[in-house]
Amino acid sequence: MQADNPRHLTIIGAGLAGALLATLLARRGWQVDVYEKRSDPRRRDLERGRSINLALAERGRHALRQADADDAVMAQAVMMRGRMVHFADGRTDLQRYGRDDSEVIWSVHRGELNQVLLDIAERAGARVHFHHRLDRVDFDQRIAHFGDEREGTERAIGFRTLIGADGAGSALRGAMGREGEFEGRTDFLDHSYKELEIPPGPDGGFRMEANALHIWPRGRYMCIALPNDESTFTVTLFLPNETDPTAGVPGFDTVRSGADARALFDREFPDASRLIPELERDFDSNPTGVLGTLYLDQWHLDERAVLVGDAAHAMVPFHGQGMNCAFEDCVALAEHLDRTPDRAAAFAAFQAERLPNARAIQHMALENYLEMRDRVDDDDYLLQRELEHRLAARHPDRFVPRYAMVTFRHLPYAVALQRGNLQRELLVELTRGHDTLDNLDWQAVDAAVIARLPPLPPDNQATPM
């Protein structure tokens, strides 16, 4: 009986975090059962859903390497070297993310990524049970109740510990809420999103630069596009929910139909509009997605349950770190479970390590919306960015742009946030009153960097916070 086995764990959700965590734990000798409400995505015969892609960065790749999943995932990934900014006048500009092609992000197909991770989890010995939707939990008896959406049947399964990898709408979090302080608070953004598609060109190739994350910044709203390996792009329109007519800012309350959306695109994103033949159909048939940040102060119920990934700390998408952070959680949880035999203590240590870091990336993700939609074409910003690059080259051990700390390094997100604030203050001070970098006193600049930014620890030794 699995509930009696001291090395048994029950994971809820076989999405991105659930499948990776199952692999990491099974390889460390845990006996793992995973329950997923949906059907096995590997069995849906070629009937492919919409192409949804995600940006995979170094934190996510680092976790995938621990599961030997990196090569299989990278086989279908598309490199994104930087932001391709599409200005209102039609000009474009590629702003590189890193120093060279070793500092890039990767666009991966969510469905394929999930399938790779499920294969690897099963190969590692985890058992994955599809069509098991967690409905209720009896924490006293340690019995979880699952429903099967196809058959309308129910099953009761005993457990010792439940790990909630069941996403932003976590049913396990809801069940834990009935036992104590687990409801948390979701701050919904007053902006939502809609996905559209750019198909391949007549020659079967990409219709824009493939190796970039495209951004159309328009001040209070924006559009982005990520490449897919089948030569398409997934375009996401982010708009306020409410129109501001005095400021001329459109919102989903007035952009309601495909025809409204086409008119908006023809006016504001004409270069993109030409590339989206099915814009009206995509807009009308795809759901409008909401965006929010989940603030939860308690992630575990003694030794009986713990939450990871979006279930614990859903965030807005603007730093492209939701999955990357969820993968980092998985590595941390597996390590704490190995290190600390007492499960309640292991979960407490996991939470103590990860909660401050989750808060930090949630905050930076919110900030990055403003940066992407408004700041990328602003003169002050461009001057600060130029200085940032110069300082990063002059002081590589001290000055690492915040985007790079989040995206290309492993140091804790909380450290990236705190160092980023120090660096921003410095950039604002040093560029104040200047239109170019030509008249800067570089001796004073270097002295300020050395005085205010102690060297960062080497990445592999960064101490967990």
Nearer of residues 72 and 168 to ligand 8R5, judged by Cβ: 168
Name residues whose C-beta falls within 8 Å of residue 208's C-beta, 6 or more positions apart in sequence. Answer: 84, 198, 214, 225, 233, 275
The residue sitting closest to ligand 8R5, measured at its beta carbon, is 320
Which residue's structure tokens are 């804790």?
412
Residue 323 binds to ligand FAD (criterion: CB under 6 A) = yes
Residues 340-369 binding ligand 8R5 (CB under 6 A) are 368
Residue 319 binds to ligand 8R5 (criterion: CB under 6 A) = yes
Q: Taking Cα atoms as reference points, which of 187, 189, 181, 165 lies closest to residue 312?
A: 165
Stretch that binds ligand 8R5, among 13-21, 166-174, 313-321, 416-424 (CB under 6 A): 313-321
Nearer of residues 155 and 375 to ligand FAD, judged by Cβ: 155
Residue selected from 372, 426, 427, 445 as contacting ligand 8R5 according to rule CB under 6 A: 372
CB-CB contact of 291 with 317 (8 Å): yes
CB-CB contact of 226 with 55 (8 Å): yes
Name residues whose C-beta falls within 8 Å of residue 178's C-beta, 6 or more positions apart in sequence. Answer: none
Nearer of residues 65 and 274 to ligand FAD, judged by Cβ: 65
213 binds, among ligand FAD, ligand 8R5, none (CB under 5 to 8 A by kind): ligand 8R5
| Bridge partners for 215 per DSSP | 85, 224
Residue 54 binds to ligand FAD (criterion: CB under 6 A) = yes
Residue 133 binds to ligand FAD (criterion: CB under 6 A) = yes
347 binds, among ligand 8R5, ligand FAD, none (CB under 5 to 8 A by kind): none
Q: What is the DSSP string of 122-136?
A: HHTT-EEE-S-EEEE
Residues 138-177 binding ligand FAD (CB under 6 A) are 165-167, 171
Task: Tabulate helix, strand, coil % of the chain (nearest 5).
Answer: 40, 20, 40
Nearer of residues 53 and 161 to ligand 8R5, judged by Cβ: 53
Rounded to whole angstroms, the Cα distance separating 227 from 229 reads 7
326 binds, among ligand FAD, ligand 8R5, none (CB under 5 to 8 A by kind): ligand FAD
* 244-250, long-range: CB < 8 A, 24+ apart: 244/220, 247/220, 249/219, 249/220, 249/221, 250/221
Residue 293 binds to ligand 8R5 (criterion: CB under 6 A) = no
Which residues of this protein are in contact with ligand FAD, per CB under 6 A? 12-18, 35-38, 52, 54-55, 133-134, 165-167, 171, 309-311, 317, 320-324, 326
